[in-house]
Structure 1
Amino acid sequence: MTKKSTPAAFKADTVLTHTGRKPREFHGFVNPPVVHASTILFPDTATMETGGQPYVYGRRGTPTTEALENALTEIEGAAGTKLANSGLNAIALACLSCLKSGDHVLIADTSYGPTRHFADTVLPKYNIAVEYYDPALAGDVKTLFKTNTAAVFTEAPGSLTFEMQDIPAIAAAARSIGATVLMDNTWASPRYCKPLELGVDLSIQAGTKYVVGHSDVMLGAISASEKAWPALDALHGAMGVHVAPDDVYLALRGLRTLSVRLERHMKNTLAVIDWLKTREEVAAIRYPALETDP
Structure 2
Amino acid sequence: MNATEPLQDTPTVARYARVLSIAGSDSGGGAGIQADLKTMAALGCYGMTAITAITAQNTQGVRAIQALPPELLAQQIDAVVEDIGVDAVKIGMLHDVGVVRVVADAIRRHRFAHVVLDPVMVATSGDKLITESTVDRLVDELFPLATLITPNLDEAAWLLRLDTINADALEDTANRLHVLGAHAVLLKGGHLPGPQLTDLLRLPDGEVRRWEAPRIPTRNTHGTGCSLSSAIACYLALGETLTDAVAHGRDYVRKALLAGADMQLGHGHGPLNHGHAPLATKRLPL
Does the pair score TM above 0.5? no
> Which structure has the bigger radius of gyration?
1
Under a length normalisation based on structure 2, what TM-score does the superposition of the two structures give? 0.28
* Structure with the bigger percentage of strand: 2
- Higher helix proportion, which one? 1
